[in-house]
Amino acid sequence: MKDLIKHFGEYVLLMGKVFRLPDRQRMFWRQYAREIEKQGLQSLPIVIIISVFIGAILTIQTKLNTENPLLPTYTTGLLTRETLLLEFSSTILCLILAGKVGSNIASEIGSMRITEQIDAMEIMGVNSANYLILPKIAAFMTMMPLLVIISITVGLIGGLGVGVFTDVITIQDYIVGIQYAFNPYYVWYGIIKSLVFAFIITSFSSYYGYYAYGGALDVGRASTSAVVNSNILILFADLLLTKLLL
Amino acid sequence: MIEVKDIVKSFDGTVVLNHITTTLKDGQVNMIIGQSGSGKTVFMKSLIGLHKVDSGQILYDGRDLSEMNEKQIRELHREVGMLFQGAALFDSMTVLENVMYPLEMFSSMTAAEIEERARFCLQRVNIQERAMELMPSEISGGMQKRVAIARAISMNPKYLFCDEPNSGLDPKTSLVIDQLIHEITEEYNICTIVNSHDMNSIMEIGDHIVFLKGGIKEWEGSRHEIFHSESEALDDFVFASDLYKKVKRANSKL
């Protein structure tokens, strides 16, 4: 418990240093553009691959579990869409990205800490927390809603692929299903959740990296802690937001 | 000039720096020497403001470090250059970008002026043009140290701190780094503070030497005075090697 309070206190103090006006706006935007590329654009391939396969798999599994003459034929498309909108493309995608982006952030900042690069910045008079962490948080929070929308779209296309290439479901039933009783608020719900999760991933991973000490092994440990704890917090936040927003 | 007045620093009740007083003047290489665990690193970190001292004063040209807030310390740091033990170059930037970084953050120069100044600093430490576009991982340890010196002097610092500048370097490269530190100190009239236990460095460039033992200032003087010191602890530390014992005996006979 004492450790938890200590971590929380350090985290709050670090965020206090992070959320300040950058020393140089030009340098901030340059870092921001780099992070957009590194965290957002470089995550696109994995998001597309996972989403297309999950979309297809969801469609097949849903069809197999809803083989009942009492259920309408559009049920498979409808359930695939709702699963993608409500949970997969926001929460599950963020859990996956916590592994990719979170470990990358924690190891990058952790390596800078143990090789005294952060100390060098501080000695120059740079607010290192602000310079290193703020662009990461801002960039990932910018890119996450886009990744969610891409994931939903590609996931639905993956489901459509099942209709095109197999006889599990007809294309017409699937298309009717994904359009049936569509509630646009569910898209906003997914985007709001993803913004919160993006903040959790970047800020917690940065925290674990920033306070890393020792050697390469300790940076590895910090990276693992960042991913595990981000995942746990994402699940807690998911529960809370679902209760609040739905 | 940095005046250190009666500073005390302790961690969890263990006194690491015990009432240290000294003056570190401009235009000379001030060396902090002592065995591992003597308090050298804590002393240097306290001077820079990374550790807050329990009592005493550290005056940067009359400005009291202990009375400065976070913003004022950050502003003071812009007058400070530091050479870290492992060079601490930013590994995501090229050699040239490393030297341009502090200028981009804090100077009001144009992009062209910044690049010109960075190239000048790199040339000053004898870095070839073709090495400027390389990443730090692609150059040798000695070159990394020279780039770190170029980065440290790029903002024309008043104070230059060097933490074990020769660690991990061969004797010939160490000599080059020592001479560079000495030349730059005299050329720009910088107050340079070097933390070292390398005897060759001490005898080569130590204009003013502060010897710490167990957190206490045991001895203070110039490198020439070392041979005539009466301090047994200093003798034990400095003349640990047979070679320097012979040099001391030869000097004593003069």
The verdict on B159 touching A (C-beta cutoff 8 Å) is no
The reply to whether B245 and B133 lie within a common domain is no
| Number of structural domains in chain B | 2
Q: Is residue B231 part of a domain?
A: yes
The reply to whether B31 and B96 lie within a common domain is no
What is the pTM assigned to this prediction?
0.88
CB atoms within 10 A of CB A123: 23
Please report the pLDDT score of residue B41 as a whole number.
Answer: 87
Residue A147: what residue type?
A: L
Alpha helices in A36-68 (DSSP H): 44-65
Structural domain boundaries enclosing B115: 89-156
pLDDT band at A53 (very low <50, low <70, confident <90, very high): very high
- Of B156, B175, B208, which residue is a domain's last? B156
Q: Give tens-digit pLDDT for A70-112.
A: 999 999 999 999 999 999 999 999 999 999 999 999 999 999 9
User: Which chain A residue shows the shortest CA-CA distance from B48?
Assistant: A123
User: Which chain A residue shows the shortest CA-CA distance from B73?
Assistant: A125
Q: How far is B245 from chain A (nearest CA, A)?
A: 36
Q: Give tens-digit pLDDT for B163-184.
A: 988 888 888 888 888 998 999 9
The reply to whether B248 and B134 lie within a common domain is no
The reply to whether B185 and B148 lie within a common domain is no
Q: How far is B42 from chain A (nearest CA, A)?
A: 14
- Of B120, B136, B156, which residue is a domain's last? B156
pLDDT band at A205 (very low <50, low <70, confident <90, very high): very high
Q: Give tens-digit pLDDT for B20-36.
A: 999 999 999 999 998 88
**Contact predicate A117/B86, CB 8 Å:** no
The reply to whether B163 and B234 lie within a common domain is yes
The reply to whether B13 and B73 lie within a common domain is yes
Six-digit token string for B168: 């991990």
Q: Which of A55, A7, A21 lies closest to A159, judged by CA?
A: A55
The reply to whether B164 and B75 lie within a common domain is yes
Q: Is residue B84 part of a domain?
A: no
* CATH number of the structural domain spanning residue B191: 3.40.50.300
End-to-end Cα distance, chain B? 34
Could A115 and B86 be called an inter-chain contact, meaning their C-beta atoms sit closer than 8 Å? Answer: yes
The reply to whether B165 and B244 lie within a common domain is yes
The verdict on B236 touching A (C-beta cutoff 8 Å) is no
Q: How far is B249 from chain A (nearest CA, A)?
A: 41
